[in-house]
Structure 1
Amino acid sequence: MAETGNPIDHDSTGSPGSERRLTEGGLTPAQREMLERCLHALTHAKNDSHTLAALLLITRLCPASQLDSATLRRVFEAVGLGLPARLLLTAVQGCSGSGLPAEELLSLGTALLAALSTDRDLAAHPQLLSTVPLLLGLLADGPSWTPRKKPQGQESEKGQSSANGVDPEGREAEPQTAPEGEESVGPSEGAGRGGAQPSSPAAGLDEALAADCYQVLSTVCASARGPEQLLSRGAVPALCRAVDRKQTLSRERGLPLLGHLLSSRVRPLAWSKHPAELLSLLAAVTTEFCQASHQDRLEMCSRVPQFLPPSGAVLESGDLRSIVSQLWEVLRPMVQAKVTPVQLGPILVLSACLLDLYGWELVGPPKLCCLLVNRACVEVRMGLEEYPATDLSPVQQQVLTACYRIMEAAMEQACSQGLVQDAAQPQTAIAGLNLQQTRQVLGVLEEAFSAVIYYLQQVGQSHRGDPFLFATFRSLCAWLAEETSCLKEEVIALLPFLVNYAKGHLEGEGPDKGLSDWMSEMSVSDTTQGGAWSGEDALRYLLPALCHLSAEEGPRRVLLGLDTPALLVGVLERRWGGLRGRGGGAGTRDHSMETACSSLLNFAITEADRVRKDPCFLSLQSLLSDALPVLLHKPRLLVLAANFCTLGLMIGRLKPATKGPVDPVQRRFFTAALRFLGGALTSGSGLAEVSGVWAEWWEDVAELWRLGLQALAGCVQAQPLLAALARESGWLGDTLALLASCSALPDPHSQGALEEALIALARQCPLCRGEIHAVLAEKRGTLHNMIQLQGALSD
């Protein structure tokens, strides 16, 4: 074998420098006959030397890229992936018994792996994956890299470690011996050298060898679970090291491979595992971007976002903030410059990514912020108003999705500030945005969302599984959550599409795989499933808009016609089942359930006849009766408990009076409701104070608590038997004692709500009336100031 100079022609893997070229007609009959003879020799080879000789003949006969999948499979079955792995290990461990120089062993091993990896099934084979740490070590540290020596006593774990690229405890592992228990080619005396010995940056790999290594890694990355496989085998730190040391082809092949890996679904995990390495890489990319010429910057804009962290993983270090500031420094003149639409797209995408990280804080002066919003809105109008006459390409869809994010960031600021003219009001995060600029922002946003509505009207339900349609739907929902006064007629006309779109996903209609992949790769951080697609996601984004729209007469009529209350009740049932199954969700709030309750509360307040007749409200009552007693013991879910309590009381006031005893289900709910309402206030030093458990959430629940007391008064009037329950449960006595001992309540509205509930009890129950009269006669505390209550007692 010593006479084999370079036994594998690197044209087989597309490596540069090859002298062979592919032929158009494939193999001739003579070549096919010779190939069969070589394959026979390969299959019957008795040792590695015979195998290498047969492989040499095959590769000289035709390049691997001309071999079909079936032939490659036969080569694999004859050779296996153990041989190339042993060749690599023999080279890096310094064994000399093979008769070939280490450089040729490396060249042969990597070329074999590159050829075999062209078959997708082989690219995911455990034996090939076990060589990934070897290839990464070569690329990062050069040809003199050696794996660390395995500590004594761990040899029994060799097979598992080498096959998976991780040790039994899940840590990233470097290969210690030949994968899958194979021996290296030649004697193993050299295998005992010390730890990894990276070469100096000057001692780089041969270019063809490096190309083969990158070919294997790129093929693995493109497989179904490739990104996870590479991440678990240390690809991120190794490739970052290769780029930092300017190793062979690291710029041409390593950096794009890192970009592809970091743009995949493993992006959040990669940043959580390797923040230091990735931040250093981002700093290098940023420096290059800042130092590039204007034309080169325009070309680099599309690559920089790949190396930014996901918005949900902003590092606490000030280094990232500094990097983002540098990027904005370069982007500002680009945003202001006259560029072609093709050049503007990447600028807007990069701007959106930077906004995701730090908002408007680092963007620049208000004028520039307004210009950025305006350019994004114009891009949306130009893209969507031409549909369906002009189809949107994937690149256009990516740009428009970025524009949506810019618009969402802008409307959160503009709508929250509104058109307030008081100079004493605090500025928004777009520092210095004045009234005129706010109006301008709202104006261009309205025009852009008019185009969004037009697009959604045109596209229809047939594209439900399209990720871009979901992105457009999501953006409009964000707008409707902030602004429902603009484009009211257009929004009402679109409601059937919005509700049916959300309902279709909730019920699992249509293909969702594309959406699942998109949600994962976009690393949408605000989903309850941590970025994974759920059929509930579409409705979850629509819920805030439904909350606003259900409060208005026109939209509410349409929502009732679409059976929206039943849809909302179904969401509550599903999410409560999941929450209870997790033992209360570890005390985490569920904003979707709270918002669904708010929408149902609007229906309960305004649509009495529908609430009395619609079966979904009976199901809702049953759910609330089961859930509220459980929530009493979940202080971290107090906001949800307040929603459940108030909603149940609002429905209860509409039920007809019963002559017999209170229904057990209703009794259970009302007992829990009285206990809940009674826990809000406690007596302090002469003043009633919000209790400790409620204090943290008072801003969110105070209005619900007062509304619940008013609804309790309505329930007592509709079902007088509940007055006895208020006495028996102790709520009446505790409330009277609190009011008699305190000179003031937290606010006048609380006093009015408590007074309304007491008046209802006094009018419906003689025993309650007598108890209230007895305490009132003492003329103590806040109770003495309740003039309307005194008037009710004197009637």
Structure 2
Amino acid sequence: MADSADVSPVVSSQPPGKNEQGGGEGGGGVLTEAQREVLERCLHALRHAKNDSHTLAALLLITRLCPASQLDKPTLRRIFEAVGLNLPARLLVTAVRGNEDPGLPPYELLSLGTALLAALSTDPDMASHPQLLTTIPLLLGILANGPVSNQEKQPAQEQTQAEEVGQSPDSRLASAETSSPETNPAHEEGKTSGQKGTDGSTSNGVSPTKETSPPDCLDEAMAADCYQVLTAVCALPRGPDQLLSRGAVPALCKAVEQNQTFSRVRGLPLLGSLLSGKTKDKAWSKHSAELLGLLVRLSKDFCQSTDQARLDMCSQLVQFLPPVGAAVEREELKESVSRMWGVLRPMMQAKLTPKQIGPILVLSACLLDLYGWETVGPPKFCCLLVNRACVEVRMGLEEPPGNDLSPEQQHTLTGCYRIMEAAIEQACNPGLLPSAAPSQSSISSLTLQQSRQVLGVLEEAFSAIIYHLQQVDLSRYGDPFIFATFRSLCSWLAEETSCLKEEVTGLLPFLIGYSQSHLQGENSEQCLSGWMTEMSISEEKGAWTGKEPLRYLLPALCHLSAEEGPRKVLLTLDTPALLVQFLSQSWTSLKGKSGVVSARDPSMETACSALLNFTVTEPERVRKDQCFRSLEALLSEALPVLVHKPRLLVLAANYCTLGLMIGRLKSAPSGPAEAGQRRFFSSALRFLRGALDSGSSPGSAKVSVGWEESWDEAAELWRLGLQALGGCIRAQPWIATLVREEGWLKHTLTMLGQCSALPDQHSQEALEDALCTMAEQCPVCKQEIGDMMRSDKGALSCMKNLKKSVGAK
């Protein structure tokens, strides 16, 4: 066989230098007629080669007469097709098996095979070929365990993996797709020696570690070729999944741990790509131990680096943090996060340029996502962190209209938003924190003066956000940065609507229009879908649905719909119709999950609360607006289903109360009640009846078992529902008959007669008011209530107003 060094130029994955690049198609130069004639003869020889020696000889001749820099892409493609993937695959297999005499040392076989694969992988079609994909475990083994001398020390399982590469294409593909990561060479434990690390880099200024490396060093050319193939595969649409399923994560982690050649400059970026997007969760769920070990190592390097190197490492560390909510609740992770905060504190206090502070703020935001303020540091530093984030937001967003932010600025500001959102949760609601004894490392330990300072800088930053959003037109609604800015403002409005009230009211047309545009799918959601995938915030990992903007705005709408000025603006923007549309879409989605345990969706409950505000304060609008007719139809369809869903009890309470509050504003039908109305009221009565239980022994009535867990949230809705039920009976007397037919009256009177008291005074008052209304509107109900009260039993005897209504003494 020809020597591998002789053929390396044609298969080198390195791009030609600037002085070598020609002007032909694909960057190749112009060949002379003589060169073209020789090239065609060599291509013929490649296509008709009888053995590997003939193939290598033809390749050698091509490299001598036609340098790669002079070949255009179509010509290179012809060469690659003539060589094919069989040759490099066989070279790797022969080297790993080590039981044949190919005429070249195993190491040279590996060098030649990896070089050929690297060159072939520059073509996407070749990179996605099943036969190339089956070589990935072998390449990972080289990077993790070193060259052939180390490969030979691996167990027989590695030989099996090598044999799979030599099988027929179909069987190779099947083997690769079903092989377990534990059976490929990347998962075998390599041994280390006392030699110095072989990575030629210093990893962004970090000194090479003192970890040992395999006895036979992996040379740079072979390492570069292996990484070229893996990087080319990773760039394919399904590439990250292909690498993940073939054990890339543990192999690359091992390469970094042993400081193998290029493991820092090529291996870490490749791992970073695997830990981004859709494969991040998969990688952490399958290989949390290896990734945690890598993160611990990187955090130690970060702490031991020079100042400039730390700045460079901030962006890198972000990629290697686990996804929020991942089951990596180990003390090691918390210690690593604490160590990183210890380094970030003096960095944050130093004088930094905008370009320098950006990566620090983004890393700080990601660390906050993991552990909140618990590990950040003393309150004074927490204030500084929030202040720096707010200053960056003001500097970035208070520019005159037309000044476009660079992608780097947008990335920094998105991190700042997350710091601000974390501060809002603490500074606005310190009493709601789950910290009975807050430590000095928590922002919850802020003094009153510090809290006011934080709220002051937040207000200035959100004023800048409002100013920026005022400049946004419809063409930018699909921009992920606009959504991040919108989301941040909504988090503030959910807690604070008294500040900047005029500015917020003035921005309502944009906020409602933006939410409506996405809910109705009027814009391309491609960018936002991709951005949602990349987000590390836990609730944004799902696919984009279009409902997300309104979900974030809903808490603010609850506050704003309760205030007269903003509510009038919201009505002019047809906000109730938007809320009804949201509920309708959400209910359709919920219904579609039949057979699956229904998950609670708090945003549906919040939408009901906002609609309830409109129903209470704007009765004329409710009577005339067609959207409330649509809402009634939705409630009559949904409530009969929800009464049988214990996990959705709070949503059922919202639907029940909202429907009853609308029902009290309607006039009595001229004929029989509509089937939908009757169905709704029947379900509402059954639902309200199930809240309290007298129990088997005398004493106070208790909240029933089904309601007990949700009583804190549902109790007020239940009381309001009873009050609205009385209003419905006044407006539509036919409902009184239904109250008796559905057994609500009999059940309630029996319970009140058996118990001595109700769980609380408010519940007793609500039931008494409802019973009084029934007695006033329905003679039959009055008779039944009076008969029960004359027995002078239980809690009924304490209801003085009810006694007057029925004439009982």
Verify: 1:317 aligned to 2:330, yes or no.
yes
- In structure 2, the partner of 1:172 is 181
- Aligned-pair RMSD on alpha carbons? 2.8
1:98 to partner: Cα distance: 2.4
1:125 pairs with 129, 148, 165, which one? 129
Report the equivalent of 1:162. Answer: 172
**Which residue does 2:684 correspond to in 1?**
673
Partner of 1:556: 567
1:380-422 deviation line (CA, Å, top 9, x unaligned): 00000014353211111111000000000000111113899xx
CA displacement at 1:333 relative to structure 2? 1.2
For residues 269 and 259 of structure 1, the distance between their equivalents in structure 2, rounded to whole angstroms, comes to 14
1:785–1:535 Cα change, 3 Å: same
Q: Name the SS of the counterpart of 1:209 in structure 2.
A: helix
Aligned residues: 771
| Cα separation, partners in 2 of 1:424 and 1:198, compared to 1, 3 Å | closer
Paired residue secondary structure (2:325): helix
- Name 2:227's counterpart in structure 1: 214
- Separation in 2, partners of 1:204, 1:244: 15
Name the CA distance, whole Å, in 2 between partners of 1:333 and 1:196: 41
1:283-682 equivalent positions in 2, closer than 5 A: 283-313=296-326, 315-417=328-430, 429-527=442-540, 530-583=541-594, 585-682=596-693
Match of 1:28 among 27, 30, 35: 30
User: After superposition, where does 1:195-214 map in structure 2 within 5 Å?
Assistant: 198=190, 200=192, 201-214=214-227
Question: Residue type matched to 1:545 in 2?
Answer: A
CA distance in 1: counterparts of 2:161 and 2:382, whole angstroms: 58
Cα 1:551–1:761, aligned 2, differ >3 Å: closer, same or farther?
same
Q: Does residue 267 of the first structure (1) align with residue 280 of the second (2)?
A: yes
Q: Is the 8 A contact 1:129 1:164 kept in 2?
A: no
Contact 2:135 2:165 survives alignment (8 Å): no
Name the structure 1 match of 2:201.
none
* Partner Cα distance (1:164, 1:115) in 2: 25
2:58 & 2:478 partners in 1: Cα distance? 51
Counterpart-to-counterpart distance in 2, 1:376 and 1:277 = 33
* CA distance in structure 1 between the partners assigned to 2:97 and 2:432 by the alignment: 72
> TM-score w.r.t. structure 2 length?
0.90
Cα gap change, 1:314 to 1:552, in 2 (>3 Å) = farther
Q: Does 1:148 align with 2:162?
A: no
The CA distance in 2 between the partners of 1:792 and 1:276, in whole Å, is 71
Match of 1:37 in 2: 41
Distance in 2 (CA, whole Å) between partners of 1:327 and 1:167 is 39
Counterpart in the other structure of 1:183: none
In 2, are the aligned partners of 1:361 and 1:431 still within 8 Å (CA)? no
CA contact (8 A) 1:124 1:220 kept: yes
Aligned counterparts of 1:63 and 1:613: Cα–Cα separation in 2 = 81
Q: 1:728 to 1:501 in 2, by over 3 A?
A: same
Kept after mapping to 2: 8 A contact 1:92/1:102 = yes
Distance change (3 Å), C-alpha of 1:400 and 1:4: closer
Structure 1 residue 624 displacement after superposition: 1.1
Q: What residue number does 1:732 align with?
A: 745
Structure 2 vs 1, CA of residues 372 and 523 (structure 1 numbering), >3 Å: closer, same or farther?
Answer: closer
Are the equivalent residues in 2 in contact too, given 1:427–1:433 (CA < 8 A)? no
Q: Provide the secondary structure at the position in 2 that maps to 1:386.
A: coil
Cα distance in 2 for partners of 1:456, 1:584 equals: 42
Q: Deviations over 1:565-604 (max 9, x none)?
A: 2222122222212211212751310112111111111121
Contact 1:379–1:400 (CA under 8 A) maintained in structure 2: yes
Task: Say whether the 8 Å CA contact 2:89–2:166 is kept in structure 1.
Answer: no
Report the residue type matching 1:29 in the other structure.
L
Q: Does 1:242 align with 2:255?
A: yes
Q: Work out whether 1:78 is the aligned partner of 2:76.
A: no
Deviation at 1:363, TM superposition (A): 0.7
**For 2:18 and 2:591, how far apart are their aligned partners in 1?**
66
In 2, the alpha carbon distance for the partners of 1:319 and 1:4 equals 46
Match of 1:186 in 2: none
Q: Is the 8 A contact 1:298 1:347 kept in 2?
A: yes
1:161 Cα offset (Å): 6.5
Q: Does 1:109 align with 2:113?
A: yes
> What is the rounded CA distance, in whole Å, between the counterparts of 2:636 and 2:182 in structure 1?
54
Give per-residue Cα distances to partners, 1:312-343, cap 9 Å, x unaligned.
21512111111111111111111222222221
Q: Which amino acid aligns with 1:289?
A: F
Q: How far, CA to CA, are the matches of 1:784 and 1:341 in structure 2?
A: 73
Residue 12 (structure 1) aligned with residue 12 (structure 2): yes
Report how far residue 39 of structure 1 moved.
2.2
Q: CA deviation at 1:151?
A: 10
Distance 1:662 1:500 in 2: 38
- Match for residue 142 of structure 2? 138
> Would the alpha carbon gap of residues 436 and 314 (structure 1) be closer, same or farther in structure 2, given more than 3 Å must change?
farther
Tell whether the 8 Å contact from 1:165 to 1:172 is kept in structure 2 after alignment. Answer: no
Matched, 1:100 2:104: yes
What is the rounded CA distance, in whole Å, between the counterparts of 2:595 and 2:301 in structure 1? Answer: 50
Kindly tell me: are residues 704 and 166 of structure 1, through their superposed partners in 2, closer, same or farther at Cα, counting changes over 3 Å? farther
Aligned partner letter, 1:203: D
Summarize the Cα distance change of 1:654–1:60 in structure 2 as closer, same or farther, 3 Å threshold: farther
1:747 counterpart residue number: 760
Q: What SS class does the counterpart of residue 303 from structure 1 fall into? A: helix
CA distance in 1, matches of 2:327, 2:383: 25
For the 8 Å contact 1:418–1:438, the answer to whether it is kept is no
For the 8 Å contact 1:114–1:213, the answer to whether it is kept is: yes
> Amino acid of the residue matched to residue 349 of structure 1?
V
| Contact map agreement 2:396 2:409 (CA 8 A) in 1 | yes
TM-fit CA distance, 1:157: 9.7
1:526 partner SS:
helix
SS in structure 1 of the partner of residue 702 of structure 2: strand
CA contact (8 A) 1:113 1:128 kept: yes
Distance 1:152 1:120 in 2: 24
User: Which residue in the other structure is 2:790 paired with?
Assistant: 777
Residue 101 of structure 1, CA deviation? 1.9
- Residue 56 of structure 2 aligns with an amino acid whose one-letter code is L
Tell me the equivalent position of 2:700.
Answer: 687
CA contact (8 A) 2:635 2:655 kept: yes
Q: Deviations over 1:243-295 (max 9, x none)?
A: 11111211221122212321333112111111000000001001111111223
* In structure 1, distance between residues paired with 2:183 and 2:85: 18
Structure 2 alignment gaps of length 5 or more = 193-213
